[in-house]
Chain A
Amino acid sequence: MTIDGSVSPSGAVAPARSPAPTSTSSRATRILGTVALVGTAALVVFGLWITPPDAQLGETIRILYMHVPTVSAAYVAFIITAVASVAYLWKRTEFWDLLAASSAEIGVLFFALTIFNGMLWGRITWGVFWRWEPRLTTTTVLFLTYLGYLAVRRVPTSTRTRGTVSAVIGILAVVNIPITHKAVDWWRGLHQEKTIFGTVDPEMQGTQLFTAYLGLTVFLVLFAWLLIHRFRLAWLTERAEEQGLDAAIAERRAEGSLS
Protein backbone atom coordinates (compact mmCIF):
# COMPACT_ATOMS: atom_id res chain seq x y z
CA MET A 1 0.00 0.00 0.00
CA THR A 2 2.04 2.93 -1.18
CA ILE A 3 1.02 6.50 -1.63
CA ASP A 4 2.04 7.66 -5.10
CA GLY A 5 4.92 5.26 -4.76
CA SER A 6 6.89 7.81 -2.78
CA VAL A 7 6.29 6.77 0.80
CA SER A 8 6.12 3.25 2.13
CA PRO A 9 3.68 3.06 5.03
CA SER A 10 4.96 -0.34 6.04
CA GLY A 11 8.37 1.02 6.95
CA ALA A 12 8.94 2.14 10.52
CA VAL A 13 10.55 5.42 9.55
CA ALA A 14 9.74 7.44 6.48
CA PRO A 15 12.51 9.13 4.52
CA ALA A 16 12.84 12.57 6.02
CA ARG A 17 12.71 14.56 2.80
CA SER A 18 10.28 12.52 0.75
CA PRO A 19 7.68 14.75 -0.89
CA ALA A 20 4.34 14.35 0.83
CA PRO A 21 1.53 13.16 -1.41
CA THR A 22 -1.29 15.63 -1.77
CA SER A 23 -4.19 13.22 -1.84
CA THR A 24 -5.26 9.97 -0.25
CA SER A 25 -6.71 8.60 -3.44
CA SER A 26 -5.07 6.34 -5.94
CA ARG A 27 -6.16 4.30 -8.91
CA ALA A 28 -7.21 1.44 -6.65
CA THR A 29 -9.33 3.61 -4.38
CA ARG A 30 -10.97 5.34 -7.32
CA ILE A 31 -12.04 1.96 -8.66
CA LEU A 32 -13.22 0.85 -5.21
CA GLY A 33 -15.06 4.11 -4.72
CA THR A 34 -16.80 3.82 -8.07
CA VAL A 35 -17.84 0.25 -7.32
CA ALA A 36 -19.15 1.32 -3.91
CA LEU A 37 -21.10 4.21 -5.40
CA VAL A 38 -22.67 2.15 -8.19
CA GLY A 39 -23.34 -0.67 -5.73
CA THR A 40 -25.05 1.67 -3.29
CA ALA A 41 -27.26 3.02 -6.05
CA ALA A 42 -28.14 -0.52 -7.08
CA LEU A 43 -28.84 -1.43 -3.46
CA VAL A 44 -31.20 1.51 -3.11
CA VAL A 45 -33.07 0.48 -6.26
CA PHE A 46 -33.25 -3.19 -5.27
CA GLY A 47 -33.90 -2.57 -1.60
CA LEU A 48 -36.59 0.07 -1.97
CA TRP A 49 -38.32 -0.84 -5.23
CA ILE A 50 -37.53 -4.16 -6.86
CA THR A 51 -37.78 -6.51 -3.87
CA PRO A 52 -41.25 -7.38 -2.62
CA PRO A 53 -42.25 -6.75 1.00
CA ASP A 54 -41.76 -9.73 3.28
CA ALA A 55 -44.60 -12.02 4.33
CA GLN A 56 -43.72 -11.65 8.02
CA LEU A 57 -41.70 -8.46 8.30
CA GLY A 58 -43.61 -6.45 5.71
CA GLU A 59 -41.88 -3.31 4.49
CA THR A 60 -39.47 -3.31 7.44
CA ILE A 61 -37.39 -5.98 5.72
CA ARG A 62 -35.91 -3.13 3.64
CA ILE A 63 -34.10 -1.85 6.74
CA LEU A 64 -32.38 -5.23 7.02
CA TYR A 65 -30.68 -4.75 3.65
CA MET A 66 -28.69 -2.05 5.40
CA HIS A 67 -28.75 -3.26 9.00
CA VAL A 68 -27.07 -6.60 8.41
CA PRO A 69 -24.30 -5.14 6.21
CA THR A 70 -23.45 -2.31 8.63
CA VAL A 71 -23.16 -4.62 11.60
CA SER A 72 -21.15 -7.17 9.60
CA ALA A 73 -18.75 -4.53 8.32
CA ALA A 74 -18.31 -3.25 11.88
CA TYR A 75 -17.34 -6.69 13.13
CA VAL A 76 -14.89 -7.09 10.25
CA ALA A 77 -13.45 -3.72 11.25
CA PHE A 78 -12.96 -4.75 14.88
CA ILE A 79 -11.35 -8.02 13.90
CA ILE A 80 -8.92 -6.09 11.70
CA THR A 81 -8.24 -3.78 14.65
CA ALA A 82 -7.48 -6.74 16.90
CA VAL A 83 -5.22 -8.46 14.36
CA ALA A 84 -3.40 -5.20 13.67
CA SER A 85 -3.06 -4.63 17.43
CA VAL A 86 -1.40 -8.01 17.91
CA ALA A 87 0.83 -7.31 14.93
CA TYR A 88 1.75 -3.93 16.40
CA LEU A 89 2.84 -5.41 19.73
CA TRP A 90 4.89 -7.91 17.78
CA LYS A 91 6.40 -5.79 14.99
CA ARG A 92 6.18 -2.32 16.51
CA THR A 93 5.66 -0.58 13.20
CA GLU A 94 3.54 2.48 12.62
CA PHE A 95 1.66 0.71 9.84
CA TRP A 96 -0.10 -1.70 12.21
CA ASP A 97 -0.86 0.98 14.76
CA LEU A 98 -2.50 3.26 12.24
CA LEU A 99 -4.33 0.39 10.56
CA ALA A 100 -5.82 -0.66 13.91
CA ALA A 101 -6.91 2.88 14.70
CA SER A 102 -8.36 3.58 11.26
CA SER A 103 -10.30 0.35 11.23
CA ALA A 104 -11.71 0.95 14.73
CA GLU A 105 -12.90 4.41 13.74
CA ILE A 106 -14.87 3.10 10.79
CA GLY A 107 -16.16 0.22 12.90
CA VAL A 108 -17.56 2.69 15.42
CA LEU A 109 -19.19 4.64 12.61
CA PHE A 110 -20.84 1.47 11.28
CA PHE A 111 -21.93 0.48 14.78
CA ALA A 112 -23.58 3.87 15.20
CA LEU A 113 -25.39 3.33 11.90
CA THR A 114 -26.42 -0.16 13.03
CA ILE A 115 -27.90 1.15 16.27
CA PHE A 116 -29.66 3.92 14.38
CA ASN A 117 -31.29 1.71 11.77
CA GLY A 118 -32.02 -0.90 14.42
CA MET A 119 -33.94 1.73 16.35
CA LEU A 120 -35.86 2.73 13.23
CA TRP A 121 -36.78 -0.92 12.75
CA GLY A 122 -37.85 -1.08 16.39
CA ARG A 123 -40.04 1.99 16.07
CA ILE A 124 -41.99 0.36 13.26
CA THR A 125 -42.06 -3.17 14.66
CA TRP A 126 -42.46 -2.60 18.38
CA GLY A 127 -43.85 0.92 18.33
CA VAL A 128 -40.95 2.21 20.42
CA PHE A 129 -37.41 3.20 19.51
CA TRP A 130 -35.82 1.07 22.15
CA ARG A 131 -36.33 -2.34 23.62
CA TRP A 132 -33.74 -4.47 25.29
CA GLU A 133 -33.42 -6.67 22.28
CA PRO A 134 -30.19 -8.74 22.62
CA ARG A 135 -28.51 -7.72 19.36
CA LEU A 136 -29.19 -4.04 19.81
CA THR A 137 -28.07 -4.12 23.44
CA THR A 138 -24.85 -5.97 22.63
CA THR A 139 -24.11 -3.57 19.80
CA THR A 140 -24.53 -0.59 22.11
CA VAL A 141 -22.27 -2.00 24.82
CA LEU A 142 -19.59 -2.78 22.25
CA PHE A 143 -20.07 0.64 20.65
CA LEU A 144 -19.22 2.23 24.01
CA THR A 145 -16.25 -0.12 24.45
CA TYR A 146 -14.79 1.09 21.18
CA LEU A 147 -15.58 4.72 21.94
CA GLY A 148 -13.19 4.18 24.85
CA TYR A 149 -10.58 2.90 22.42
CA LEU A 150 -10.94 6.01 20.27
CA ALA A 151 -10.85 8.25 23.36
CA VAL A 152 -7.55 6.67 24.40
CA ARG A 153 -6.09 7.50 21.03
CA ARG A 154 -6.89 11.15 21.51
CA VAL A 155 -4.94 11.46 24.76
CA PRO A 156 -1.75 13.38 24.00
CA THR A 157 1.23 11.12 24.64
CA SER A 158 4.17 9.63 22.77
CA THR A 159 3.42 7.64 19.64
CA ARG A 160 4.84 4.48 21.16
CA THR A 161 2.82 4.73 24.36
CA ARG A 162 -0.32 5.47 22.39
CA GLY A 163 0.37 2.51 20.14
CA THR A 164 0.99 0.09 23.00
CA VAL A 165 -1.94 1.18 25.12
CA SER A 166 -4.43 1.21 22.29
CA ALA A 167 -3.17 -2.16 21.00
CA VAL A 168 -3.84 -3.69 24.42
CA ILE A 169 -7.32 -2.19 24.48
CA GLY A 170 -7.98 -3.34 20.92
CA ILE A 171 -7.17 -6.90 21.96
CA LEU A 172 -9.14 -6.84 25.23
CA ALA A 173 -12.15 -5.35 23.47
CA VAL A 174 -12.35 -7.97 20.73
CA VAL A 175 -12.16 -10.79 23.25
CA ASN A 176 -15.14 -9.25 24.97
CA ILE A 177 -17.30 -9.45 21.84
CA PRO A 178 -18.29 -13.14 22.19
CA ILE A 179 -18.55 -12.88 25.99
CA THR A 180 -20.87 -9.88 25.80
CA HIS A 181 -22.90 -11.59 23.07
CA LYS A 182 -23.38 -14.69 25.19
CA ALA A 183 -24.12 -12.75 28.37
CA VAL A 184 -26.70 -10.47 26.78
CA ASP A 185 -28.34 -13.36 24.91
CA TRP A 186 -28.72 -15.25 28.15
CA TRP A 187 -29.85 -12.17 29.99
CA ARG A 188 -32.68 -11.63 27.52
CA GLY A 189 -33.28 -15.36 27.12
CA LEU A 190 -36.41 -15.27 29.25
CA HIS A 191 -37.96 -12.51 27.18
CA GLN A 192 -38.19 -14.00 23.72
CA GLU A 193 -39.47 -11.46 21.28
CA LYS A 194 -39.24 -10.66 17.63
CA THR A 195 -35.61 -9.90 16.97
CA ILE A 196 -34.10 -7.99 14.17
CA PHE A 197 -32.15 -11.02 12.93
CA GLY A 198 -34.13 -13.97 14.19
CA THR A 199 -36.85 -13.97 11.59
CA VAL A 200 -34.81 -13.29 8.51
CA ASP A 201 -32.30 -15.53 6.85
CA PRO A 202 -34.06 -18.84 6.17
CA GLU A 203 -37.15 -17.12 4.81
CA MET A 204 -35.41 -15.01 2.23
CA GLN A 205 -35.69 -16.04 -1.39
CA GLY A 206 -35.09 -14.74 -4.90
CA THR A 207 -34.53 -11.00 -5.14
CA GLN A 208 -34.67 -10.64 -1.35
CA LEU A 209 -31.74 -12.98 -0.89
CA PHE A 210 -29.90 -11.35 -3.78
CA THR A 211 -30.42 -7.90 -2.28
CA ALA A 212 -29.23 -9.08 1.12
CA TYR A 213 -25.98 -10.35 -0.37
CA LEU A 214 -25.69 -7.28 -2.59
CA GLY A 215 -25.94 -5.12 0.54
CA LEU A 216 -23.28 -7.14 2.29
CA THR A 217 -20.92 -6.88 -0.67
CA VAL A 218 -21.53 -3.17 -1.20
CA PHE A 219 -20.89 -2.32 2.43
CA LEU A 220 -17.73 -4.41 2.57
CA VAL A 221 -16.42 -2.60 -0.52
CA LEU A 222 -17.44 0.71 1.05
CA PHE A 223 -15.63 -0.30 4.22
CA ALA A 224 -12.47 -1.18 2.31
CA TRP A 225 -12.61 2.13 0.48
CA LEU A 226 -13.09 4.13 3.67
CA LEU A 227 -10.38 2.14 5.45
CA ILE A 228 -7.75 2.82 2.81
CA HIS A 229 -8.54 6.52 2.79
CA ARG A 230 -8.66 6.76 6.56
CA PHE A 231 -5.39 4.91 6.87
CA ARG A 232 -3.65 7.14 4.37
CA LEU A 233 -5.03 10.20 6.09
CA ALA A 234 -3.69 8.97 9.44
CA TRP A 235 -0.37 8.26 7.81
CA LEU A 236 -0.20 11.74 6.31
CA THR A 237 -1.21 13.30 9.64
CA GLU A 238 1.74 11.61 11.29
CA ARG A 239 4.05 12.89 8.58
CA ALA A 240 2.67 16.39 8.86
CA GLU A 241 3.22 16.35 12.60
CA GLU A 242 6.75 15.15 12.08
CA GLN A 243 7.60 17.88 9.65
CA GLY A 244 6.02 20.56 11.74
CA LEU A 245 3.42 23.05 10.74
CA ASP A 246 5.85 25.52 9.23
CA ALA A 247 7.39 23.01 6.91
CA ALA A 248 3.95 21.86 5.87
CA ILE A 249 2.86 25.40 5.08
CA ALA A 250 6.06 26.03 3.16
CA GLU A 251 5.44 22.92 1.11
CA ARG A 252 1.87 23.84 0.34
CA ARG A 253 3.04 27.26 -0.81
CA ALA A 254 5.66 25.70 -3.00
CA GLU A 255 3.04 23.43 -4.54
CA GLY A 256 0.77 26.40 -5.07
CA SER A 257 3.42 28.30 -6.98
CA LEU A 258 4.18 25.30 -9.17
CA SER A 259 0.68 24.67 -10.42
Chain B
Amino acid sequence: MIRDAALVASKDLRLEWRGRVGLGQVLPFALLCVLLFAFALDPDRGVLQRATSGLFWMIVLFAAVLVVQRSFSVEGEDGVLDALRLSGLAPASVYLGKVAAIVVQLLALEALLLVAVAVLYDTTLRGWGLLLGTVLLATLGIAGAGATYGVVGLRLQGAETLLPLLLLPLLAPVLIGATRAGDVALGRSAGPGWPWAAMLGIFAVVYVSLGAILFRPLMEDL
Protein backbone atom coordinates (compact mmCIF):
# COMPACT_ATOMS: atom_id res chain seq x y z
CA MET B 1 0.00 0.00 0.00
CA ILE B 2 2.83 2.37 0.89
CA ARG B 3 4.56 1.45 -2.35
CA ASP B 4 1.42 2.09 -4.39
CA ALA B 5 0.95 5.41 -2.67
CA ALA B 6 4.56 6.33 -3.41
CA LEU B 7 3.93 5.41 -7.04
CA VAL B 8 0.96 7.77 -7.30
CA ALA B 9 2.80 10.50 -5.44
CA SER B 10 5.88 10.26 -7.64
CA LYS B 11 3.68 10.32 -10.75
CA ASP B 12 2.00 13.50 -9.50
CA LEU B 13 5.25 15.15 -8.53
CA ARG B 14 6.88 14.28 -11.85
CA LEU B 15 3.88 15.77 -13.65
CA GLU B 16 4.17 18.89 -11.55
CA TRP B 17 7.88 19.16 -12.06
CA ARG B 18 7.50 18.92 -15.82
CA GLY B 19 4.44 21.16 -16.01
CA ARG B 20 5.87 23.80 -13.64
CA VAL B 21 2.36 24.93 -12.76
CA GLY B 22 3.16 25.14 -9.08
CA LEU B 23 6.36 27.01 -9.69
CA GLY B 24 5.02 29.16 -12.49
CA GLN B 25 1.55 29.98 -11.18
CA VAL B 26 0.86 29.06 -7.58
CA LEU B 27 4.10 30.40 -6.09
CA PRO B 28 3.84 33.77 -7.86
CA PHE B 29 0.22 33.95 -6.70
CA ALA B 30 1.33 33.36 -3.11
CA LEU B 31 3.98 36.07 -3.38
CA LEU B 32 1.38 38.39 -4.88
CA CYS B 33 -0.77 37.79 -1.80
CA VAL B 34 2.17 38.80 0.41
CA LEU B 35 2.25 42.11 -1.44
CA LEU B 36 -1.50 42.60 -1.50
CA PHE B 37 -1.76 42.16 2.27
CA ALA B 38 0.93 44.83 2.63
CA PHE B 39 -1.12 47.17 0.45
CA ALA B 40 -4.25 46.44 2.45
CA LEU B 41 -2.62 46.73 5.89
CA ASP B 42 -0.33 49.74 6.08
CA PRO B 43 3.22 48.35 6.56
CA ASP B 44 4.24 51.30 8.75
CA ARG B 45 1.81 50.55 11.54
CA GLY B 46 3.23 47.20 12.50
CA VAL B 47 0.05 45.33 11.62
CA LEU B 48 1.92 43.08 9.21
CA GLN B 49 4.46 42.13 11.84
CA ARG B 50 1.84 41.37 14.43
CA ALA B 51 -0.29 39.40 11.99
CA THR B 52 2.51 37.59 10.18
CA SER B 53 1.44 34.13 11.30
CA GLY B 54 -2.20 34.63 10.37
CA LEU B 55 -1.43 36.19 7.00
CA PHE B 56 1.05 33.42 6.20
CA TRP B 57 -1.54 30.74 6.83
CA MET B 58 -4.24 32.60 4.93
CA ILE B 59 -1.95 32.62 1.89
CA VAL B 60 -1.18 28.94 2.39
CA LEU B 61 -4.91 28.15 2.44
CA PHE B 62 -5.53 30.09 -0.76
CA ALA B 63 -2.57 28.44 -2.45
CA ALA B 64 -3.71 25.04 -1.17
CA VAL B 65 -7.03 25.46 -2.97
CA LEU B 66 -5.11 25.99 -6.22
CA VAL B 67 -2.73 23.10 -5.59
CA VAL B 68 -5.61 20.74 -4.81
CA GLN B 69 -7.54 21.86 -7.87
CA ARG B 70 -4.49 21.32 -10.04
CA SER B 71 -3.74 17.96 -8.47
CA PHE B 72 -7.12 16.63 -9.53
CA SER B 73 -7.64 18.46 -12.79
CA VAL B 74 -4.77 16.39 -14.24
CA GLU B 75 -6.75 13.28 -13.35
CA GLY B 76 -9.83 14.51 -15.18
CA GLU B 77 -8.05 14.71 -18.53
CA ASP B 78 -7.96 11.85 -21.00
CA GLY B 79 -9.72 9.46 -18.64
CA VAL B 80 -6.72 9.20 -16.33
CA LEU B 81 -8.97 8.43 -13.39
CA ASP B 82 -10.44 5.46 -15.24
CA ALA B 83 -6.92 4.25 -15.91
CA LEU B 84 -6.11 4.63 -12.22
CA ARG B 85 -9.15 2.55 -11.32
CA LEU B 86 -8.22 -0.10 -13.84
CA SER B 87 -4.66 -0.18 -12.57
CA GLY B 88 -5.78 -2.21 -9.57
CA LEU B 89 -4.41 0.25 -7.04
CA ALA B 90 -6.44 0.38 -3.85
CA PRO B 91 -8.39 3.67 -3.58
CA ALA B 92 -6.76 4.30 -0.21
CA SER B 93 -3.33 4.06 -1.85
CA VAL B 94 -4.32 6.50 -4.56
CA TYR B 95 -5.65 8.84 -1.89
CA LEU B 96 -2.51 8.63 0.24
CA GLY B 97 -0.36 9.17 -2.83
CA LYS B 98 -2.36 12.26 -3.69
CA VAL B 99 -2.04 13.54 -0.13
CA ALA B 100 1.71 12.95 -0.15
CA ALA B 101 2.15 14.81 -3.44
CA ILE B 102 0.09 17.75 -2.17
CA VAL B 103 2.07 17.79 1.10
CA VAL B 104 5.39 17.92 -0.76
CA GLN B 105 4.20 20.76 -3.00
CA LEU B 106 2.77 22.74 -0.12
CA LEU B 107 5.89 22.27 2.00
CA ALA B 108 8.05 23.59 -0.83
CA LEU B 109 5.73 26.53 -1.23
CA GLU B 110 5.64 27.21 2.52
CA ALA B 111 9.44 27.19 2.74
CA LEU B 112 9.72 29.88 0.08
CA LEU B 113 6.77 31.80 1.48
CA LEU B 114 8.33 31.78 4.93
CA VAL B 115 11.44 33.42 3.54
CA ALA B 116 9.33 35.99 1.70
CA VAL B 117 7.32 36.79 4.81
CA ALA B 118 10.45 37.03 6.96
CA VAL B 119 12.01 39.52 4.57
CA LEU B 120 9.01 41.57 3.49
CA TYR B 121 7.16 41.67 6.82
CA ASP B 122 10.37 42.16 8.77
CA THR B 123 9.76 39.09 10.90
CA THR B 124 12.52 37.20 12.66
CA LEU B 125 11.89 33.49 12.37
CA ARG B 126 12.41 31.64 15.63
CA GLY B 127 10.93 28.90 17.78
CA TRP B 128 11.99 26.52 15.03
CA GLY B 129 10.84 23.31 16.72
CA LEU B 130 7.29 24.52 17.16
CA LEU B 131 7.33 26.27 13.80
CA LEU B 132 8.36 23.15 11.92
CA GLY B 133 5.95 20.93 13.86
CA THR B 134 3.11 23.33 13.11
CA VAL B 135 3.97 23.54 9.43
CA LEU B 136 4.15 19.75 9.05
CA LEU B 137 0.94 18.95 10.94
CA ALA B 138 -1.09 21.78 9.44
CA THR B 139 0.06 20.88 5.94
CA LEU B 140 -0.87 17.25 6.46
CA GLY B 141 -4.34 18.29 7.64
CA ILE B 142 -4.83 20.66 4.72
CA ALA B 143 -3.71 18.02 2.23
CA GLY B 144 -5.82 15.31 3.89
CA ALA B 145 -9.03 17.31 3.68
CA GLY B 146 -7.99 18.85 0.36
CA ALA B 147 -7.47 15.56 -1.44
CA THR B 148 -10.94 14.34 -0.42
CA TYR B 149 -12.57 17.53 -1.63
CA GLY B 150 -10.38 17.57 -4.72
CA VAL B 151 -11.94 14.37 -5.96
CA VAL B 152 -15.38 15.73 -5.04
CA GLY B 153 -14.67 18.72 -7.29
CA LEU B 154 -13.53 16.38 -10.02
CA ARG B 155 -16.72 14.34 -9.76
CA LEU B 156 -18.90 17.39 -10.14
CA GLN B 157 -17.83 18.66 -13.54
CA GLY B 158 -18.09 22.38 -13.92
CA ALA B 159 -18.28 22.96 -10.19
CA GLU B 160 -14.70 24.04 -9.59
CA THR B 161 -15.93 27.22 -7.95
CA LEU B 162 -17.34 25.04 -5.18
CA LEU B 163 -13.96 23.87 -3.91
CA PRO B 164 -13.11 26.97 -1.82
CA LEU B 165 -16.60 27.03 -0.31
CA LEU B 166 -16.32 23.38 0.67
CA LEU B 167 -12.72 23.31 1.78
CA LEU B 168 -12.11 26.59 3.60
CA PRO B 169 -14.82 26.35 6.30
CA LEU B 170 -13.63 22.84 7.05
CA LEU B 171 -10.08 24.15 7.43
CA ALA B 172 -11.10 26.94 9.83
CA PRO B 173 -9.76 24.96 12.84
CA VAL B 174 -6.45 24.50 11.00
CA LEU B 175 -6.19 28.22 10.38
CA ILE B 176 -6.92 28.94 14.04
CA GLY B 177 -4.50 26.33 15.37
CA ALA B 178 -1.67 27.05 12.94
CA THR B 179 -1.94 30.82 13.44
CA ARG B 180 -1.90 30.53 17.22
CA ALA B 181 0.98 28.06 17.27
CA GLY B 182 2.85 30.28 14.84
CA ASP B 183 2.23 33.32 17.03
CA VAL B 184 3.70 31.50 20.01
CA ALA B 185 6.71 30.28 17.98
CA LEU B 186 7.42 33.77 16.68
CA GLY B 187 7.08 35.22 20.16
CA ARG B 188 3.99 37.25 19.27
CA SER B 189 1.95 35.76 22.06
CA ALA B 190 2.72 34.01 25.29
CA GLY B 191 1.46 30.63 26.36
CA PRO B 192 2.10 27.06 25.31
CA GLY B 193 2.11 26.46 21.58
CA TRP B 194 2.18 22.69 21.57
CA PRO B 195 -1.49 22.19 22.48
CA TRP B 196 -2.32 24.00 19.24
CA ALA B 197 0.05 21.78 17.32
CA ALA B 198 -1.58 18.77 18.98
CA MET B 199 -4.95 19.97 17.75
CA LEU B 200 -3.52 20.23 14.24
CA GLY B 201 -2.24 16.68 14.64
CA ILE B 202 -5.67 15.40 15.64
CA PHE B 203 -7.24 17.19 12.70
CA ALA B 204 -4.68 15.65 10.34
CA VAL B 205 -5.16 12.12 11.68
CA VAL B 206 -8.96 12.38 11.57
CA TYR B 207 -9.15 13.75 8.04
CA VAL B 208 -6.47 11.55 6.51
CA SER B 209 -8.17 8.46 7.97
CA LEU B 210 -11.62 9.57 6.84
CA GLY B 211 -10.29 10.42 3.40
CA ALA B 212 -8.66 7.02 3.03
CA ILE B 213 -11.97 5.35 3.88
CA LEU B 214 -14.24 7.61 1.85
CA PHE B 215 -12.08 7.67 -1.26
CA ARG B 216 -13.36 4.26 -2.32
CA PRO B 217 -17.00 5.25 -2.83
CA LEU B 218 -15.87 8.51 -4.41
CA MET B 219 -13.72 6.73 -6.96
CA GLU B 220 -16.04 3.85 -7.65
CA ASP B 221 -19.03 5.94 -8.61
CA LEU B 222 -17.66 7.76 -11.59
Contacts and interface: CB of A to CB of B under 8 A. Distances in A.
Interface of B: 145, 148, 152, 155-159, 162, 165-166, 169-170, 172-173, 176-177, 180, 195-196, 199, 202-203, 206-207, 210, 214, 217-218, 221-222
Given A152-B162, A171-B214, A179-B202, A165 B169 contact: no
Nearest to A179: B173
A165 B218 contact: yes
Nearest to A189: B191
Contacts of A172: 145, 148, 170, 207, 210, 214
Contacts of A167: 217
A152 B173 contact: no
Interface string A129-153: 0000000000001101101100110
Contacts of A165: 152, 155-156, 218
Interface in A152-191: 152, 155, 157, 160-161, 164-165, 167-169, 171-173, 175-176, 179-180, 182-184, 186-187
Nearest to B206: A175
A89 interface: yes
A179 B145 CA distance: 13
Contacts of A161: 155-156, 221-222
Contacts of A176: 169-170, 173
- Majority DSSP secondary structure for residues of B touching A: helix
A171 B145 CA distance: 12
Contacts of A89: 214, 217
Contacts of A155: 156, 158-159, 162
Contacts of B157: 157
A169 B152 contact: yes
A182 B199 contact: yes
B216 to A, nearest CB: 9
B95 to A, nearest CB: 12
Given A157-B156, A168-B218, 6 more contacts: A155-B162, A167-B217, A168-B152, A168-B217, A179-B206, A184-B172
B214 A148 contact: no
B210 A183 contact: no
Nearest to A144: B169
A175 B210 CA distance: 9
B180 A164 contact: no
A223 B51 CA distance: 43
Contacts of A179: 173, 199, 202-203, 206
27 contacts: A144-B165, A145-B170, A148-B166, A152-B152, A152-B166, A157-B156, A160-B221, A161-B156, A161-B221, A161-B222, A164-B155, A165-B155, A168-B218, A169-B166, A172-B148, A172-B170, A175-B206, A176-B169, A176-B173, A179-B206, A180-B173, A183-B173, A183-B177, A183-B199, A186-B180, A186-B196, A186-B199
A187 B152 contact: no
Contacts of B155: 157, 161, 164-165
B199 A151 contact: no
Contacts of A160: 221
Contacts of B148: 168, 172
B162 A168 contact: no
A71 B203 CA distance: 24
Contacts of A152: 152, 156, 159, 162, 166
B217 to A, nearest CB: 5
Given A151-B165, A171-B210, A141 B172 contact: yes
Contacts of B158: 155
Contact of A180 (B159, B166, B172): B172
